[in-house]
Amino acid sequence: MRIYNTLSRRKEVFVPQDPDEVKIYSCGPTVYSFAHIGNMRTYVFMDSLRRVLRHEGYKLKHVMNVTDVGHLTSDADDGEDKMEKAARKAQKSPYEIAAFYAAAFFKDLERLNIDRPEIIAKATDHIDGMIDYVVQLCEKGYGYETSDGIYFDIAKFPGYGKLSRARLDEQLAGGSERVAVNDEKHNPADFALWKKAPKEHIMQWPSPWGMGYPGWHIECSEMSREYLGDLLDIHTGGVDHIPIHHENEIAQSEALIGKKTVNYWMHGEFLLVDGGKMSKSLGNTYTVDTLIERGYSPLAFRYFCLNGHYRNKLNFTWEGLNGAQISLTRLYDTLLAHKNAPDAEITDTVPGEGRYSGMNVLDAWKKEFGYAITDDLNIPLALSVVWKALRYKTLNRKIYEFVVSCDDILGLDLEAGTEKAAEKREQERIEEQKAQNSDIPEEILALSDERMKAKKEKRYADADALRAEIARLGFKVTDTKDGPVITKELE
Ligand code: AMP
Ligand code: ZN
């Protein structure tokens, strides 16, 4: 399996430390409001990674954090604590706010068939560990105290900027807007490990530096180490985390542990809406609920996401989502047709000169699907293989079985979706027949009612005679679970 490593800017062969179990850490949500569909795209990517690794036979030890403290309104240590701001506005405690939005987040994961990581770690459950981490960084000379907190001294960490390949001299010049201005900092890009809390700050804990709360970045360094040890196989997040959050995580973790702490960094590209950023002022920070309110199924959004490679930007539009919903319905319908078809041997081979030429087509589809998913999670290519199989010249039960097996990776409820498609078909057939019954003469309907009565009273001979009489008059009765349906016998 090959995956793209943001650190090396290359696709690399994936080799976990332990051949059986992969250690993954994913930056999770800050639970101060509903997650938007952009956030959810990043978790669909995380889920594809999980599914592919499991398909490759690995067990997973996967940690995702839930940030319920310390993420300021700007990533660069500026502004208010997001949790506190939301709590004040809603006149609730930050803990109530966090519990409410965390529950909503996990419900969204479920609705999108996103597997829940094995370990969910809440920042507020790990404050002691974070304090200890900051103490150790200070002892090693990486942290220093100012009047409002403890800061990481990036000049002491020569590797600073290696993930984003930002130049340290640029960081030090502080020309960028993404660093908080603070005269006491040694360098403008130094970031907070711990913040001293003003009295009105609701969430605060005792520390060697008085009452305070942790910086946002320290939570991921501490919790990933606590659950997964000094070296992770894979660390994931959205691309916005590359220049600040993950750069800072690397600085903290490598400073403390003294060596590399992540083997593969993977980042999901952004979801745009109508070609631009989502923003509250534009009213386009859509959530999974918004999609449902507008009549779309969450899985149509999942399908929409799977159609774009995780390292490419994806532009969300309502027309695009509508197209995804139509395609998904067509996928279920076509799959149903293959399900009901004969289970015949497929003997065709792939023509031409390509990689799979000469191979049995069914084997080739399987190979191509496997190749796609292990080539840096090329799910769009894998989906196109599924469509290639579905569009095969004849309907075949073997195609149904192949495509359903792909659902381990796709997570589109293919079996259940197909069953629903079948129920819908049956319903349509009954409706059609009911509509036909409305043209049936009264006399025939009366005979049919009499036949039903006879059947109910177990007078089967009478019932058969009545059926024969109806047939003699040119009509046919079919018993369905919704009652008898009468059709005119064609000549
Ligand atoms: P947050 O709760 O703000 O920390 O974001 C949760 C996750 O969503 C992070 O991994 C972000 O990188 C990611 N994210 C934020 N906005 C978008 C977006 N528009 N598209 C894709 N991922 C996003
Ligand atoms: Zn993180």
Q: What is the mean pLDDT of each run of 10 residues along the chain (491 residues)?
A: 97 97 97 95 98 98 93 74 85 90 97 97 97 98 96 95 77 52 85 92 94 95 98 97 95 97 98 92 93 98 98 98 98 97 96 93 98 98 98 98 98 97 89 77 92 94 95 90 80 59
The protein residue whose alpha carbon is closest to atom 19 in ligand 1 is 38
Atom of ligand 1 nearest to the CA of 71: 4
Distance CA 67, CA 87 (A): 14
Choice from 47, 122, 235, 240 to test ligand 1 binding pocket (greatest atom count within 8 A of CB): 240
User: What are the C-alpha distances in Å from 479 to residues 423, 455, 483, 485?
Assistant: 17, 11, 6, 6
Distance CA 217, CA 249 (A): 6
Ligand number nearest to the C-alpha of 215:
2
The protein residue whose alpha carbon is closest to atom 23 in ligand 1 is 39
Residue 240, ligand 1, Cβ within 6 A:
yes
User: What are the C-alpha distances in Å from 369 to residues 4, 52, 136, 362?
Assistant: 19, 11, 48, 11
Residue 38, ligand 1, Cβ within 6 A:
yes
Distance CA 246, CA 284 (A): 27
Cα(65) to ligand 1 centroid in Å equals 13
Q: Phi, psi (5° rounding) for residue 267?
A: -130, 135
The protein residue whose alpha carbon is closest to atom 15 in ligand 1 is 39
Cα(174) to ligand 2 centroid in Å equals 23
- Where would I find the beta strands (DSSP E) of 230-357? 232-238, 262-268, 271-273, 314-316
Residue 70, ligand 1, Cβ within 6 A:
no
Cα(284) to ligand 2 centroid in Å equals 25
Atom of ligand 1 nearest to the CA of 241: 12
Cβ proximity of 486 and 476 under 8 Å: yes
Q: Distance between alpha carbon 355 and the CA centroid of its chain, in Å?
A: 32
Cα(370) to ligand 2 centroid in Å equals 31
Cβ proximity of 318 and 312 under 8 Å: no
Residue 117, ligand 1, Cβ within 6 A:
no
Domains of the chain: residue spans and CATH: 18-268 (3.40.50.620), 314-417 (1.20.120.640), 438-488 (no CATH)
Ligand number nearest to the C-alpha of 220:
2
Cα(78) to ligand 2 centroid in Å equals 17
Q: Distance between alpha carbon 223 and the CA centroid of its chain, in Å?
A: 22
Q: What is the pLDDT of residue 433?
A: 72
Q: Phi, psi (5° rounding) for residue 475?
A: -125, 160
Q: What is the pLDDT of residue 35?
A: 95
H-helix segments, 22-177: 37-55, 82-90, 94-111, 127-139, 168-173
* Residues in the 5 Å CB sphere of ion ligand 2: 27, 220
Cα(221) to ligand 2 centroid in Å equals 8
Ligand number nearest to the C-alpha of 242:
1
The protein residue whose alpha carbon is closest to atom 2 in ligand 1 is 29
Cα(312) to ligand 1 centroid in Å equals 15
Residue 241, ligand 1, Cβ within 6 A:
yes
**What are the beta bridge partners of residue 122?**
66
